[in-house]
Amino acid sequence: MKKIFSKEVIIGLTVLVALAILVVGIDFLKGINIFKAANYYVATYTNVQGLAVSAPVSVNGFKVGQVREISYEYDNPGHVKVEMSLNKNLKLPEGTQAVIKTDMLGTATIELNMGHGGTYYNVGDEIEGTIASGLMDNVTDKILPSVGDIMPKIDSLLTSLNKVVSDPALLQSMQRLDKITSNIDVTTNRLAQLVGSLPAVVNDVKGLTSNLSKSTDDIAVLTERMRNIPVDSLADNVAQITANLKELSAQLNDPNSTVGKLTHDPALYNNLNSTISSLDSLFVDIKKNPKRYISIKLL
């Protein structure tokens, strides 16, 4: 009986199966599922830096496919063709753009900006490929020119700042500020001492209030005593004394009264004056001649 499969046939089949497994494994590692139906579209770019095979293709952030192949167009120098494998259920309206976007880490992806046309691309058609401006492009195109415009102003500002810093008036102002700060510290310490002495002042005020209260009580007692003074009898006495003084004054002014004669009779005044003069002469003579008036006998 002949063998159906010779050794050579078995070896050939094994090689074919191994190749098939290798191709499927490579595509699987790339993220390509050869068993899943997909539609293929191409786009052309002048720069695909950061874009790699199996890079995701998304619509509004949702992954709808991936990059299947990237190849250089030798018949169109400066252009790179990118083949995309998209979900079979996805239809691309005319006007759709395949935009390459690069993140901060340099990884590129393709974002589909869907068109609004009423017709759709056929499978295998080429759609418009564009490149979104990345972070570094914005820095180069927008920020760096602005920085270039700002640099002269910064240089002028630094020059002015250097002049201000080197101005002696600034040093004097700083020294004055230090003195003001020191004065504020001294004032704060004095205020703290004053606040610390407030309890003693409060106690003194309390003592003064107590003394005032006592004085008020004494005044009340004095007022009560003054109320008890017999004002009516005192007024009567004063009135009587006043009347007596009036009567005495009238007698002194009346030359016919006994008291009035003493004050109005000139003879009485002259006699008194003569008597005083005689007494004076007598005292003088006694001083000169005491033996005349005093006799001293010795036993």
Q: Is pLDDT larger for residue 37 or for residue 195?
A: 195
Strands (DSSP E) along the chain, which ranges?
38-45, 56-59, 62-72, 80-87, 97-102, 108-113, 126-131
Query: How many CB atoms sit inside 10 A of residue 84's CB?
Result: 24
pLDDT at 29 exceeding the cut of 50: yes
The tens digit of pLDDT for each residue in 133-160 reads 755 555 566 666 676 777 777 878 888 7
**Is 298's pLDDT higher than 50?**
no
Question: What pLDDT shows up at residue 99?
Answer: 94
How far apart, in whole angstroms, are the C-alpha atoms of residue 293 and residue 299?
19
Output the pLDDT for position 260: 64
Of the ranges 20-24, 69-73, 174-178, 261-265, the best mean pLDDT one:
69-73
The answer to whether 238 and 247 have CB atoms below 8 angstroms apart is no
Predicted confidence at residue 299, as pLDDT, reads 43
Q: What is the distance between the terminal CA atoms of the chain, rounded to a whole angstrom? A: 218
Structure confidence at residue 4 as a pLDDT band (50, 70, 90)? low
pLDDT of residue 295: 60
Any idea what the Cα angle at residue 298 is, between residues 295 and 299, rounded to 5°?
130
Q: What is the mean pLDDT of residues 270-285?
A: 78
Sign of CA dihedral 206, 210, 212, 216: positive
- Residue carrying the six token digits 């770019």: 45
Find the largest Cα–Cα distance for the chain.
218
* pLDDT (average), residues 17-23: 77
pLDDT for 41: 94
- The whole-number pLDDT of residue 192 equals 82
Residue entry with tokens 């998304």: 58
SS (H, E, C) 137-201: HHHHHHHHHHHHHHHHHHHHHHHHHHHHHHCHHHHHHHHHHHHHHHHHHHHHHHHHHHHHHHHHH
pLDDT top residue among 83 and 290: 83
Poorest-confidence range of 33-37, 77-81, 255-259?
33-37
Higher model confidence: residue 228 or residue 159?
159
Query: In whole angstroms, what is the distance from residue 113 CA to residue 99 CA?
Result: 7
Q: Write out the two tokens for 264.
A: 């109005």
Please state the pTM of the whole predicted model.
Answer: 0.39
pLDDT tens digits for range 83-138: 999 988 999 999 999 999 988 787 899 999 999 878 999 999 999 999 987 555 55
Closest Cα to residue 109, out of 101, 121, 97?
101
Summarize pLDDT for 237-253 with one digit per residue, the tens: 777 888 878 777 776 67
